[in-house]
Amino acid sequence: MWRRVWTSNNGGLEIGGGGGTMMMNWVRYMSRKRAENLRKINPKVPYSEATSIAQNLYNLIQHRGPLTIGNAWTNIQEAGISGLSSKTHMKIMLKWMRGKKMLKQVCQNIGSNKKFLLCTPQDSQAVQSTGSPRVKLRTEKSSKLRKKHKK
């Protein structure tokens, strides 16, 4: 990020003063990328069909717990939810559901990797505070292997 030093020629503001800090905050705020408007996602099916698909997806995610996108697709195929033509269509529907505040996407840091989980808004608070019990940290596995190699 670039930084400018304001002198008295530029209106009397200096970087250490309140005006310079305010200017830097304004530059930082204006340089951010805007969030995508999830409410305007087109589900690519009629609204009545989209609501029934969304209800089935919601029930699946509620019963099976926090799921990744890949796990959600395999569970949908096993459950036989009709109306979804492809994995891309499922992703569009999940994004539409997030826009309608039916689902939340939670990020979990696992070492240097990130895992994005889909869950209901009620479950998201529990997942964020405690973490999913199904997720194993890679550091635990590697420390066990190191102990074996040292012996």
On whether residue 23 sits in a domain, the answer given is: no
On whether residue 15 sits in a domain, the answer given is: no
Determine contact, residues 131/66, Cβ cutoff 8 Å.
no
Q: What is the pLDDT of residue 131?
A: 56
Instruction: State the total domains in the chain.
Output: 1
Tell me the CATH number at 61: 1.10.10.10
Q: What is the pLDDT of residue 4?
A: 55
Q: What is the pLDDT of residue 138?
A: 44
Task: State the residue range of the domain holding 132.
Answer: 49-139
On whether residue 27 sits in a domain, the answer given is: no
What is the pTM assigned to this prediction?
Answer: 0.63
* Cα distances (angstroms) measured from residue 24 to each of 15, 21, 33, 45, 133: 9, 5, 16, 45, 42
Taken in order 22, 23, 29, 30, is the CA torsion positive or negative? positive
On whether residue 86 sits in a domain, the answer given is: yes
On whether residue 11 sits in a domain, the answer given is: no
CA-wise closest residue to 135 among 68, 59, 77: 68
On whether residue 18 sits in a domain, the answer given is: no
On whether residue 13 sits in a domain, the answer given is: no
Cα radius of gyration (the chain): 23
Q: What is the pLDDT along the chain (151 residues), one digit of tens a residue?
A: 455 555 555 555 455 556 788 888 888 888 877 777 877 899 999 999 999 999 999 999 999 989 999 999 999 999 999 999 999 999 999 999 999 999 999 998 888 999 999 999 988 877 777 654 454 444 455 455 555 555 5
On whether residue 115 sits in a domain, the answer given is: yes
